[in-house]
Amino acid sequence: MTEQQTTQSVTPTATRHVTPVATSPAGQSTPQPADGDQRAVVTGASSGIGAATVRALVADGWHVVALARRAERLNALAQELGDAVEPIAADITDESSTQAAVETILAGGPVKALVNCAGGAIGKDPVATASIDDWRAMYELNVLGTLRMTQKLLPALKKSAGTVLIISSTAGIEPYEGGAGYCASKFAERVMARVLRLEMIGEPIRVVDISPGMVHTDEFSMRRFHGDAAKAAAVYAGVPDPLKAEDVAECIRWALDQPDTVDIDSIVVRPRAEGSYTKVFRK
């Protein structure tokens, strides 16, 4: 589950030095990481797992490019965390927007990691009546957006012996009724990660897939049910201690923290109360 809202704040534990800003070809000013800083790009960074990941990586000493559509949220995150965060507003479902963002990113220096957090579920209708537009939107964001960012940054990641990390979902492992569109898109993301891993054998690059189960945040279910607060709340009703965005962010931080020669192929992470999508303990 991705693109979820988090409210917890993490204070960076390391003091970072950032050299004076440089101007990219697109005319934007971008902070330049100091020598020795590792630089990560996090998509979907305006909320949920993406925002929690930005906080976790900054606290671990990374310089982070925070990428999302909502500029005001990115700017607030950058104000909270300081010069270690470079906010870039972009829509990864749009080719020209993504290309401009990538040009700005590459003008700012090397990239060591790409964390593909952007994604989400839309609707929970049976196959017989599901909206084609909902399916299309999920594929554009979850699959093609991830593919677009990965393709554009792969050459830079090879140069830095970097990592492509994809946040998929347990929905990409076990399908469930009403979830065909979302499950199909997350199956596709998991397959993309696995095939890329095979294709990159012999190259100095890691490919990691992290599949979260139930993560309780504000935006994921609200978006899925088109703003219906009652339906969104029912997803988590009675479930003790579902995952938080910070739990998934810690998995991301840990995977990236391993030596460059150690590839964490796949992590499946769920709350203790969830054995599977259809086997959840509720009080």
**Options 176, 182, 236, 277, the catalytic residue:** 182
Burial class (CB in 10 A: 0-12, 13-18, 19+), 212: buried
Among candidate residues 183, 206, 186, 185, the one with its CA nearest the CA of residue 265: 206
- Kindly report the backbone phi and psi dihedral angles of residue 146, in degrees, each rounded to the nearest multiple of 5, phi listed first: -65, -45
Q: Are 148 and 100 within 8 A, CB to CB? A: no
CA dist list (Å): 277 to 35, 212, 213, 227, 236: 45, 11, 8, 22, 12
Query: Residue 13 burial (CB < 10 Å; 0-12/13-18/19+)?
Result: exposed
Nearest in space to 85 (alpha carbons), one of 3, 10, 164: 10
CA atoms of 276 and 274, how far apart (whole Å): 5
139 among known catalytic residues: no
- How do 274-276 and 279-280 pair as beta strands? antiparallel
**Active-site residues: which are they?**
182
